[in-house]
Amino acid sequence: MPRSLRGKVAIVGVGQSPSGRVPSRSPLDLTADATLKALADAGMDKSEIDGVLTGNAFASSFHRFSIALSEYLNIQPAYSNTLQVSGATAGAAVNTAAAAIHAGLADTVLVACGDSLLTGMTPDMAIRAMTESRDQQYEMPFGIPVANTFAMTAQRHMKEYGTTAEQFAQVAVTFREHASRTPGAQKTEPITIEDVLNSKMVTTPYHKLDCSLISDGAVALILTSAEKAKDYTNDPIYILGGGEYYSHEHIFLMPDLTQTGAVQSAKKAYEMAGISANDIDVAGIYDCFTGTVVMMLEDLGFCKKGEGGAFVESGEITYGGKIPTNTHGGMLSYAHPGIPAAWFHFAEVVRQLRGSCGERQVIGAEHGLVHTLGAGFSTQATTVLGTESTL
Amino acid sequence: MNDLIIQKPLPIADGDSQAFWDGLKIGQLLLQHCADCGHVQYYQQRICRQCQSENLQHKAASGRGTVHSYSVVYRAPGPAFKQDVPYAVLLIDLEEGPRMISSLVGKDFDVLDFDVPVQLETIKITDDVYLPCFHVVNK
């Protein structure tokens, strides 16, 4: 039997700060705010946290954000790290926290991240954020924003599979509909496919409304062992499987522009969970761009390669469809504070599995999936979650 | 806004890449050919990415390639590129095999398409830095 995390660890607390435009609040403040709310959600005292994992914040000068956050909250953890695998950091942090708990390095781990990309960036910080993420020798001198790496994969997908700009736009339209039902969403006014196609071109084929937002905000999750989970909540949400894959650093060494490492990360996560894509009831999929979602629906196994555009167009990623996705509105409409963005996907899927989403509830959801990715599809992390009934 | 903001990121050669940036100053795009396994690689490093051999030889590329994908950038990635937009970023498949990131010389985006042939054109940025860019070959 391969070693497995299935059912060993559960998420028992979820909290988030105000998000969207939240001026005059530092990334540490926002993250601490989310943490206190997660502790309250779990009915837990902070003295029980002995592990802290975070991502980094662009608008914070701390190199060791997890350590700075611990000090801010007056926690002295026995286990801590500040992870950096770009957009996949959320999934990697949840998987890693679960592994650390299962291995005995910590009992209860805070997995949190916050940033203030919208209102908290000085010009120097903005430059760092804009230019540091791609290689300074072989990529950045050509003026290649990270958006452009994703755009070139989308262009190729259009060429190889006939995917259309209208199909990409439908992703933005659907997630905006979802956001309109979500309290706290940054963008809630309805948009049409024409609105997306008529918005300013950013980098072909992506228009402004094909691109995710820029926001402030933080989310905190609290994970503990399955044995202890019931001490805190009647609705622990269990980690059923985790898988990651890191296929390249430079976009020009991506093995195939239209098939990503999400195939491998999802395969591992599904195998550990003992289920397939068909069993997933609700998904949180990293949506930095509309086309990213189309490609992930294929690579995560929700539809066949090349059919992602038609899948979206026929309503399969909303209520009543095959896989309701980003029911909070995602990074395209709910919030995108940078690295913390995908933490919101976890918060939403956990709430869906708890059955606490009110009018946006996916009825009867038991299995959830969160897929996070980053840096031009370099980094991929999949997590399968489930209710107690799935164990 | 200060000078830092309008300065473009320039490559700073390291031990792995000095020969590559030196080659561009005389119009050569150097690729590494592995004498042990035959692998041809872009970008420069001390060992072959296929077989880890150190037996690598620099050879100038023909400069011929085709466009694998591209995207025309209308919103600059920071103030340094604002005066350049719109410009096209290219993924080029070189005749020798490797793929690389580059950008199109000029703004004739109408000629851009998948698989169109392109030719290397080194562009002087400073006395020390020449960038390997490409133009579409007219048939």
3-class secondary-structure state, position A115:
strand
Residue of B nearest to A160 (CA): B114
Chain A hits for B116, CB-CB cut-off 8 Å, are none
Chain B hits for A199, CB-CB cut-off 8 Å, are none
Chain B hits for A140, CB-CB cut-off 8 Å, are 9
CATH, residue B93 = 2.40.50
Chain A hits for B81, CB-CB cut-off 8 Å, are 143
Residue B7, domain member (yes or no): no
Residue B1, domain member (yes or no): no
This model of the complex carries an ipTM of 0.94
| Interface with B, mutate which of A137, A209, A250 (most B CBs under 10 A) | A137
Task: Write out the two tokens for B94.
Answer: 């070189």
Tens digit of each residue's pLDDT (9 = 90 or more) over A19-55: 999 999 999 999 999 999 999 999 999 999 999 999 9
- Which residues of chain A are modeled with pLDDT < 70? 1, 126-128, 130-132
For chain A, the straight-line distance linking the first and the last C-alpha, in angstroms and rounded, comes to 17
Does residue B88 share a domain with residue B29? no
Does residue B56 share a domain with residue B66? no
Measured CA to CA, the distance from residue A22 to residue A215 in angstroms comes to: 8
pLDDT of residue B97: 98
Domain extent listing, chain A: 9-122+212-390
- Does B69 contact A124 at a Cβ distance shorter than 8 Å? no
| Interface with B, mutate which of A142, A254, A292 (most B CBs under 10 A) | A142
Residue of B nearest to A159 (CA): B114
Task: Write out the two tokens for A46.
Answer: 């902070």
Task: Write out the two tokens for A219.
Answer: 């989310």
Does residue B67 share a domain with residue B26? no
Answer for the pair A221, A37: CB distance below 8 angstroms, yes or no. Answer: no
Does residue B87 share a domain with residue B51? no
Nearest to B131 among A136, A141, A250 (CB): A141
- CA contacts within 13 A on the Cβ side of A231: 10
Does residue B106 share a domain with residue B79? yes
- Does A138 contact B101 at a Cβ distance shorter than 8 Å? yes
Q: Which CATH number fits domain A9-122+212-390: 3.30.200.20, 3.40.50.300, 3.10.450.50, 3.40.47.10?
A: 3.40.47.10
For chain B, percent of residues with pLDDT exceeding 70: 95
Nearest to B77 among A136, A143, A252 (CB): A143
A151 touches chain B (CB under 8 A): yes
Does residue B50 share a domain with residue B80? no
Domain total in chain B: 2
Residues 6+ apart with CB under 8 A from A99: A5, A242
Measured CA to CA, the distance from residue A375 to residue A367 in angstroms comes to: 28
Residue of B nearest to A122 (CA): B1
pLDDT of residue A362: 98
Residue B134, domain member (yes or no): yes
Tens digit of each residue's pLDDT (9 = 90 or more) over B77-125: 888 888 999 999 999 999 999 999 999 999 999 999 999 999 999 999 9
Nearest to A131 among B9, B13, B114 (CB): B9
Residue of B nearest to A155 (CA): B69
pLDDT of residue B8: 82
Does residue B76 share a domain with residue B46? no
When the pLDDT of each residue in chain B is averaged and rounded to a whole number, the result is 93
Residue B5, domain member (yes or no): no
CA A12 to chain centre: 18
Chain A hits for B71, CB-CB cut-off 8 Å, are 148, 151-152, 155, 203-205
Inform me whether the pLDDT recorded for B6 exceeds 80.
no
Chain A hits for B114, CB-CB cut-off 8 Å, are 156, 159
When the pLDDT of each residue in chain A is averaged and rounded to a whole number, the result is 96
Does residue B73 share a domain with residue B53? no
Residue B135, domain member (yes or no): yes
pLDDT confidence band for B3 (50 / 70 / 90): very low
Q: What share of chain B is helix, strand, coil (3-state, %, to 5)?
A: 15, 35, 50
Chain A hits for B1, CB-CB cut-off 8 Å, are 123
Question: What is the secondary structure of A252-264 as a DSSP string?
Answer: GG-S-TTS-THHH
Residue B70, domain member (yes or no): yes
A250 touches chain B (CB under 8 A): yes
Answer for the pair B51, B82: CB distance below 8 angstroms, yes or no. Answer: no
Does residue B99 share a domain with residue B76? yes
Chain A hits for B14, CB-CB cut-off 8 Å, are 137
Residue B78 domain boundaries: 62-139
Alpha helices in A24-181 (DSSP H): 27-42, 65-73, 89-103, 123-131, 146-161, 165-179
Does residue B74 share a domain with residue B124? yes
* Over residues B122-138, mean pLDDT: 95
Nearest Cα of chain A lies from the Cα of B55 at a distance, in angstroms, of 21
Does residue B74 share a domain with residue B27? no
- Does A204 contact B13 at a Cβ distance shorter than 8 Å? no
Does residue B86 share a domain with residue B39? no
Measured CA to CA, the distance from residue A330 to residue A277 in angstroms comes to: 20
